[in-house]
Structure 1
Amino acid sequence: MPDPSAGARPAPMRSLLVLSTAALAYSLAQTTVIPAIGDLEARLHTDSSGVAWTMTGYFLAAAVFTPIFGRLGDMFGKRRMLVVSLLAFVAGSVVSALGDTLELVVAGRVLQGVGGGIFPLCFGIIRDEFPRERVAQSIGLISATLGIGAGVGLVLGGIIVDASSYHWIFWGSAAMSALAAVAVQCLVHESPVRSKGRVDVRGAAVLGIGLILPMVAVSRANTWGWDAPRTLGLIAIGVAILVAWVALERRTDEPMADIPTLSAPPVLMTNVATLLIGFGMFASYILIPQLAETSTRTGFGFGLSATGAGLLMLPGAIIMLFVGPVSGILGARLGNKVPLALGGLLTAAGLILMGLVHDTQLEILVFNMVSSIGVGLAYAAMPNLIVDAVPPHRTGEATGLNAVVRSIGGSLGSQVTAAILAGSVLASTRLPSDSGYTDAFVISGVVALLAAGLAVIIPRAGHAHLPVLSEIGAASPLGDPALADTRVRA
């Protein structure tokens, strides 16, 4: 209900500028880490499985805490919780910046993930505060900022690492996020919209435990053995806990996930495809930088700097933004499962080709662009499929949980491919072998191919078409399907 103390609303343009700054801080902080993977691995004295936790830790925390912060924003004020999210992001950045061990850097990344509610809260403020005719355009602009910042971060991260070290990536993130938090507190009016409710802390805790146990098993599989009782046991326990979580959510009055909605075949199948595509895309984020920065003395590495690795990946990040609207056009004419299926096929083709043929930088650049086109088509189609399949009042929740599933897929892809690389390390070089990269790319491609096959059999519901800017954001490397809920609420 409205807050009676709320005063005159500020100019939307001022609020939009401040919210865009918060969005940019978030998006830059995520992709600047990617070119630093090699530097992190060397300086933290770890292997591919260890350094993958800098990605996995963030995505798991974001998967659990993003719905929590969304609910807290509805209850206690979206601006207030946006400031809290940004401050959590600042705290995580500082911890990682100060960290000189893997444990500290990962702990900081987990804290950054706690601040993962930044985008849904920005969208909520816009829906509550902006004139009806400005809502869709403004959400689309914030969404596009996510994609643009993600692309810039790939290059900026490489430049920072080459000039100094990974520490300064996190110091820069802390400074920008702190400035954004101050600006939000001082220049953005608190939303007057409140809704009573409760936070499903129990469900979030169970979900977190169920997700992390299999990840730990995968990361330790090369040490314990893939068929070792500890490995299989942790995976089995994690799966059992996730099954129990579904049953728990069905019995919870105000769950973090509405299971009947999520279990509808179009929604369930879209979310599974989302997980599989996310697996493939984030696997490439682990593989390409390490391959690019591997010494030429190995016979297959390119010996690039971190900046060079970022530039090698930049065309793929940029092209994702352009194919988002193409996905919308295809979906409007042929149904949204068509761009999802096509996207899965192209993602698979690019990843498999990178695995089989990666002798030159040009081959990686071209095949990564093919894969990125596929990811962009698929990611922009996913929120449209969700919007088609759920009632209007469930759109925000369902698309937000689709974003959570994407994070889980990214965590799984990062950890599995890193484990494959770690298992292929040669005693002579103490580096992953060429066959390790081949296996990791090909397995990721096969996973994306499964997503394409699943997309073909998704029940056809409709031809929803998001605004162009929203499709750009959804197709970006770190796109958030929660932006799809751009309908103005009465």
Structure 2
Amino acid sequence: MSVSISLPLRLYVPGRSVSAPVHHAPETARKTPRDLRRFVFPVLAVGAVFQAIMQTVMVPLLPSMPGFTGAGPTAVSWLVTSTLLVGAVMTPIFGRLADMIGKKRMLLVAFGLMTLGSLICALTSEIGLLILARGLQGAGAAVLPIGMAILREVLPRESVDRSIAILSSTLGIGTAVGIPFAAAIVQFADWHLLFWATAAIGAGVAFGAWLVVPESKTRTGGRFDTVGAAGLSAALVCLLVPITQGSMWGWTSPAVLLTFGASVVLFALWGFQQLRNRNPLVDLRISARRSVLAPHLSALLVGFAFYGNTLITTQLLQASSAHGAGYDLTILEAAACQLAASFAMMIFAIVASRITERSGPKITIMAGALFLLAGYAVHAVPGKPLWAVVVAIFVAAIGTSLVYCTLPVLLLGAVPLSQNAAANGVNVLLRTVGSTVCSAVVASVLAAYALGGGSGIDTAGFVVAYLVCAGCAVVVFVSAFALPSRQSPRPVAD
């Protein structure tokens, strides 16, 4: 017989203290043997890399997908847009559900949806089904915040910060690995093989998570905020659809202006509803604290800057030097250059945690912003040799790693344990929004500097695009002054 125990938990609400039940997992729940728990972090790390690969795996295929599917460029663009949209919508929802009903359960749901999406992509070339499948893969964006919350419960306190920092870096590692991985398969084999491979990886990771990840010790219970979830979903769709489609529809077209206007109204209504709800999807009072708001702002800006390091540079490397700027590289050669970012993210994930332990999170964030700025300063130099491009990729990725690895550690000390997955879900959501905005801005900037007849892009276009990303790094550096000099102690909810 299952026994559910509720204990009072002190929650952080400005000006008052509120008690909310914390539901411990049933005594009869399947327990993970202690000798298997040492595999929890490796399984979560592989899963996080896998979900990051899913976000970028379609990028090298996009130019060829109209020929593979018989669909037009606008329809094909939704193979990326649908993944970003669903990821943005589902990340905070899955994070909240993980806190409520169990982190392991929602982790397995996310892995299952990603694997199902890969299977559909492997079995069809019909554009409608492919867009649906890519949307299912977008649910994997929730893996990172849920994984961080699991590590906070499972690992000894002295190991949590470093493990979460490394897990956070897997987002950049997977993004940098996904492009060459996809490019190699597409160049030498049928593109469907790519998704057979990801389906196998997804099934393996899901089984590994089921086997080694323990049940959640702490669950908030309560009633799920269905109205808040629907409101946030509608507001995000109205925000992100015109951002991703604006260059095709026209930035001053009625469709773009109306959907942007609708997003403003919906976000305002959603915020009002969240403040009045006793069980909100996102606790805006906690999110408004300086210790939480500053990491969220940094996530938005670094998401923009990081994606620019991949998106702009990939196009520059493949462009023809005979028409504007370019290095005449093949898809695979250009993708191989991005491996520099993977190496930087892997190496400096550990460095980030050590800097934070010794000097505090503010110093780590500032150092990351300076590395980003230095990387984009090199990127913005026209006519540089190829080796300098690779150096710029590496340096900018160092900055991304330092910031990405520090943000979840900051949130650990700023939010109660019962809201950890939800808070990290919002942080990952803002990274996704930053990347989506970057895609739209880069497309618009490069289109403005396109040469006659679409033969290429003027060098100035790439310089301007890189300088926009450098501006984001400057704002991250300035906003870091609002961060605490030393990491906050863990909330008493632990």
Q: Answer whether TM exceeds 0.5 for this pair.
A: yes
Question: Partners of 1:208 and 1:410 in 2: how far apart?
Answer: 18
Counterpart check, 1:9 vs 2:32? yes
CA contact (8 A) 2:325 2:457 kept: no
Counterpart check, 1:89 vs 2:114? yes
- In the alignment, structure 2 segments of 5+ residues that lack a partner are 1-23
CA contact (8 A) 1:200 1:255 kept: yes
Distance 1:181 1:316, change over 3 A: closer
* Secondary structure of the corresponding residue to residue 338 of structure 2: helix
Question: Partners of 1:135 and 1:191 in 2: how far apart?
Answer: 16
Counterpart check, 1:351 vs 2:376? yes
Counterpart check, 1:153 vs 2:172? no
* Secondary structure of the corresponding residue to residue 59 of structure 1: helix
Query: Which residue does the alignment assign to 1:470?
Result: none
CA contact (8 A) 1:261 1:267 kept: yes
Distance 1:362 1:173, change over 3 A: same
Query: Which residue does the alignment assign to 1:282?
Result: 307
Question: Partners of 2:451 and 2:354 in 1: how far apart?
Answer: 48
Distance 1:236 1:314, change over 3 A: same
Distance 1:327 1:83, change over 3 A: closer
Shift of 1:281: 1.1
Q: Deviations over 1:233-273 (max 9, x none)?
A: 32232123222222221112211211011111232233122
Query: Which residue does the alignment assign to 1:479?
Result: none
Greater CA drift, 104-113 or 389-398 = 389-398
CA contact (8 A) 2:225 2:280 kept: yes
Question: Partners of 1:224 and 1:154 in 2: how far apart?
Answer: 27
Shift of 1:275: 0.5
Q: What letter is aligned with 1:173?
A: T
Query: Which residue does the alignment assign to 1:460?
Result: 484
Counterpart check, 1:428 vs 2:453? yes
Distance 1:345 1:270, change over 3 A: same
Distance 1:382 1:41, change over 3 A: farther
Query: Which residue does the alignment assign to 2:289?
Result: 264
Greater CA drift, 154-163 or 139-148 = 139-148
Question: Partners of 2:151 and 2:353 in 1: how far apart?
Answer: 23
Q: Deviations over 1:421-446 (max 9, x none)?
A: 34544452455554433332222222
Shift of 1:109: 2.4
CA contact (8 A) 2:367 2:399 kept: yes
Distance 1:191 1:154, change over 3 A: same
Question: Partners of 1:489 and 1:353 in 2: how far apart?
Answer: 45
Query: Which residue does the alignment assign to 2:280?
Result: 255
Shift of 1:36: 4.1
Question: Partners of 2:348 and 2:162 in 1: how far apart?
Answer: 19
Query: Which residue does the alignment assign to 1:315?
Result: 340
Of residues 419, 422, 443 in structure 1, which corresponds to 2:444?
Answer: 419
Q: Deviations over 1:41-97 (max 9, x none)?
A: 7757766x8766544432332232123223334444444333322121122223444
Query: Which residue does the alignment assign to 1:112?
Result: 137
CA contact (8 A) 2:244 2:439 kept: no
Question: Partners of 1:262 and 1:85 in 2: how far apart?
Answer: 25
* Secondary structure of the corresponding residue to residue 453 of structure 2: coil
Distance 1:135 1:440, change over 3 A: closer
Matches within 5 A, 1:72-221: 72-98=97-123, 100=125, 104-125=129-150, 149-185=174-210, 190-191=215-216, 194-221=219-246
TM-score normalized by structure 2?
0.80
Q: What letter is aligned with 2:29?
A: A
Shift of 1:229: 4.2
Question: Partners of 2:165 and 2:375 in 1: how far apart?
Answer: 28
CA contact (8 A) 1:39 1:161 kept: no
- In the alignment, structure 1 segments of 5+ residues that lack a partner are 466-484
CA contact (8 A) 1:39 1:166 kept: no
Q: Deviations over 1:437-477 (max 9, x none)?
A: 33322222223322222223x15352369xxxxxxxxxxxx
Question: Partners of 2:333 and 2:403 in 1: how far apart?
Answer: 27
Identity %: 30
Q: What letter is aligned with 1:361?
A: L
CA contact (8 A) 1:3 1:194 kept: no
Shift of 1:296: 4.0
Distance 1:455 1:211, change over 3 A: same
Q: What letter is aligned with 1:4?
A: E
- Counting matched residue pairs gives 468
Query: Which residue does the alignment assign to 1:381?
Result: 406
* Secondary structure of the corresponding residue to residue 194 of structure 2: helix
Counterpart check, 1:293 vs 2:318? yes
Counterpart check, 1:234 vs 2:259? yes
Query: Which residue does the alignment assign to 2:6?
Result: none
Greater CA drift, 184-193 or 197-206 = 184-193
Query: Which residue does the alignment assign to 1:58?
Result: 83
Question: Partners of 1:129 and 1:459 in 2: how far apart?
Answer: 27
Of residues 410, 413, 429 in structure 1, which corresponds to 2:435?
Answer: 410
Question: Partners of 2:334 and 2:155 in 1: how far apart?
Answer: 40
Question: Partners of 2:452 and 2:404 in 1: how far apart?
Answer: 40
Shift of 1:193: 5.4
Shift of 1:309: 1.6
Question: Partners of 2:492 and 2:342 in 1: how far apart?
Answer: 30
TM-score normalized by structure 1?
0.81
Question: Partners of 1:218 and 1:424 in 2: how far apart?
Answer: 19
Greater CA drift, 267-276 or 387-396 = 387-396
Shift of 1:378: 2.0
Query: Which residue does the alignment assign to 1:476?
Result: none
Matches within 5 A, 1:439-450: 439-450=464-475
Q: Deviations over 1:194-240 (max 9, x none)?
A: 54223223222222222222333234434444334443332232123
Distance 1:320 1:13, change over 3 A: same
CA contact (8 A) 1:388 1:462 kept: no
Distance 1:293 1:28, change over 3 A: same
Question: Partners of 1:362 and 1:40 in 2: how far apart?
Answer: 31
CA contact (8 A) 1:96 1:107 kept: no
Q: What letter is aligned with 2:89?
A: V
Question: Partners of 2:76 and 2:461 in 1: how far apart?
Answer: 16
